[in-house]
């Protein structure tokens, strides 16, 4: 089981944001996507999430070829992206944020609020973090709890591949460790995860492999166990080791 990107390119006018990228994400692994500002990380992830249409290249999910016209297409194929701002509605309880657009209803079309609340609470409690009540408005949550709520939303609907753009950047040290722990648990449960990050410490803690972009080109993919900090930094800064 894997997602395979082949020959993905995307230009904006004269700017070649990414060029001829080949990358595989295996089920059950965390792959860190690294690179300097403007290297093309977000562009590549948006292509994978269906939010940006590439000029060239193909996407295969678990052996089937896909063309994503929008993020719903990617979501139907089992791929979900968490954007940095997390896109939660602050005035809405966590349970509604989790089920937004995919509410459970009975035969007459009425919302099954109780069932949604129980399910949402189960999912949140399943993550190894200090539990919180899913009736809380999202605007009252801590940064770590927001991250957990957003992850609950992606996992509630069976995403098999999850893209995280800088999931730990705005968190306190303890929330950071909790979120990294959840990322690892999700991967161990069989989900494939791509994590965009500028923090090599976090990448080292949780990733199995790293992929490095430099000026729109994929300049290296390394196993975390055999690469070094120096090698990764050279790839990020110079584009070669
Ligand atoms: N919508 C857009 N229109 C025009 N140019 C864009 C657009 N999106 C990205 N670019 C350009 O494409 C290149 C890659 O940008 P991208 O956002 O993918 O980089 P990044 O690696 O995510 O950087 P950062 O670490 O700063 O988030 C940059 O030169 C950027 O200015
Ligand atoms: Mg970016």
Ligand nearest to the CA of 8: 1
127 or 129, which is more confident = 127
Average pLDDT, the chain: 91
Which domains does the chain show, CATH number per domain? 2-88+161-238 (3.40.50.300)
Closest residue by Cα to atom 25, ligand 1, is: 37
Q: Cα 119 from chain centroid?
A: 22
Confidence of residue 208 (pLDDT cuts 50, 70, 90): very high
Closest residue by Cα to atom 10, ligand 1, is: 17
| pLDDT for residue 227 is more than 80 | yes
Residue 84 has what pLDDT? 64
How far from each other are the two terminal CA atoms of the chain, in whole angstroms? 30
d(CA 45, CA 56): 15
Q: What residue ranges line ligand 1, CB within 6 angstroms?
A: 12, 15, 17, 35, 37-43
Q: Is-contact 86 142, C-beta < 8 A?
A: no
Q: Is-contact 125 131, C-beta < 8 A?
A: yes
Q: Is-contact 221 201, C-beta < 8 A?
A: no
d(CA 240, CA 104): 51
d(CA 151, CA 149): 5
pLDDT digits (tens, 9 = 90+) for 57-101: 999 999 999 999 998 999 999 998 887 666 688 888 989 888 877
Closest residue by Cα to atom 2, ligand 1, is: 12
Token pair 């929330």: residue: 175
Q: Is-contact 181 102, C-beta < 8 A?
A: no
Phi (first) and psi of residue 209, to 5 degrees: -140, 165
Residue 19 has what pLDDT? 98
């Amino acid at each position: 089981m894997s997602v395979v990107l082949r020959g993905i390119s995307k230009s904006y006018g004269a700017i070649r944001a990414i060029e001829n990228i080949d990358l595989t994400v295996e089920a059950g692994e965390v792959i860190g996507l690294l690179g300097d500002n403007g290297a093309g990380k977000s562009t590549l992830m948006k292509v994978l999430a269906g939010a940006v249409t590439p000029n060239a290249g193909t996407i295969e999910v678990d052996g089937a070829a896909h063309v994503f016209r929008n993020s719903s297409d990617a979501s139907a194929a089992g791929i979900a992206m968490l954007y940095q701002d997390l896109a939660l509605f602050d005035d809405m309880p966590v349970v509604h944020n989790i089920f937004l657009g995919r509410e459970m209803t009975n035969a007459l079309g009425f919302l099954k609020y109780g069932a949604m609340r129980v399910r949402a609470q189960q999912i949140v409690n399943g993550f190894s973090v200090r539990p919180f009540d899913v009736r809380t408005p999202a605007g009252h949550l801590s940064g770590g709890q927001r991250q957990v709520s957003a992850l609950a939303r992606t996992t509630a609907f069976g995403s098999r591949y999850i893209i995280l753009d800088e999931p730990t950047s705005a968190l306190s040290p303890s929330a950071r460790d909790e979120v990294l722990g959840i990322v690892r648990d999700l991967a161990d449960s069989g989900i494939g995860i791509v994590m965009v990050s500028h923090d090599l410490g976090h990448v080292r803690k949780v990733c199995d492999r790293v992929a490095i972009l430099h000026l729109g080109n994929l300049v290296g993919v390394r196993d975390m166990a055999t690469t070094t900090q120096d090698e990764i930094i050279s790839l990020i800064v110079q584009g070669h080791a």
